[in-house]
Amino acid sequence: MSNKNKTEISRVTRSKKDAKASYNTMSKWYDVIAGRFEKKYRDIGLQKLNTKGGDVVLEIGFGTGECILALARSVGISGKVYGIDISESMCNITQSKIKKEGLSEIVELTCGDAVKLPFKVDFFDAIFMSFTLELFDTPEIPTVLNECYRVLRNDGHICVVAMSKKGDNSLMMRLYEWLHKKLPKYFDCRPIFVQDALQSTGFQILDAVKLSMFGLAVEIVRGKKK
């Protein structure tokens, strides 16, 4: 990512403690509001990642677990899905869904921060992130992606769904970024340069598409560890 691009990305000013508290509160209604709006884009990301039976997969920022469930069904009993999320309440809700669906043997959750992933080198076949990477402060984005690169196996795939700043200087984008600056507790995510960030980490880009969500750009990018 160029220095110019770095300066154009808004910073995340709220603390990790505040983020955890916010998502603990939000977990009660996340599926009804944010989850519903994001579903279309998450589903496209899952299709592009295209996990299969026997894969070992990680989801970073799994929220209330809808994608975790989909990933678990795709890898089957011969595979394994791991998830990491900063919010204890999100973890508890997702764990309840996993148990209800009878997927406890397939899924393992961790409550923690993805800037340091608790997994060995070359551990995963695939990694999925949906509306999560843009929650990290600008200096943390390469740290998270380097961690993803470390734990992915050679030729392993990553798919990132995120709000995109690429080529978007619309009125809606400027308004959203103003809200992010003025009300960081409520508008904590912000648009980032998704494809650039993955390429800067060393991922080979296999597929990238830009869509619109209520006038805001969303990038869905699939890459491979070289």
Q: Which of 22, 225, 39, 2 is nearest to 131 (CA)?
A: 39
Residue 208 is part of which domain span? 3-225
Q: What is the number of alpha carbons within 13 Å of residue 168 lying toward its C-beta?
A: 26
* Number of structural domains the chain divides into: 1
Mean pLDDT, rounded, of the chain: 91
Distance of CA 88 to the CA centre of its chain: 17
CA 81/CA 126 separation, integer angstroms: 10
Task: Report the C-alpha dihedral over residues 123, 62, 198, 185, rounded to 10 degrees.
Answer: -140
pLDDT value of position 104: 97
**The pLDDT value given to residue 183:** 72
pLDDT, mean of residues 86-108:
97
Relative to beta strand 80-85, strand 107-111 is parallel
Name 109's bridge partners: 83
Look at residues 84, 10, 41 and name the one whose alpha carbon lies nearest to residue 210. Answer: 41
**pLDDT (tens digit, 9 = 90+) per residue, 131-160?**
999 999 999 999 999 999 999 999 999 999
Cα–Cα distances in angstroms (integers) from residue 49 to residues 42, 75, 90, 129, in the given order: 11, 12, 23, 10
CB 81 within 8 A of CB 54: no
pLDDT, tens digit (0-9, with 9 covering 90-100), for 43-95: 999 999 999 999 999 999 999 999 999 999 999 999 999 999 999 999 999 99
CATH number at residue 215: 3.40.50.150
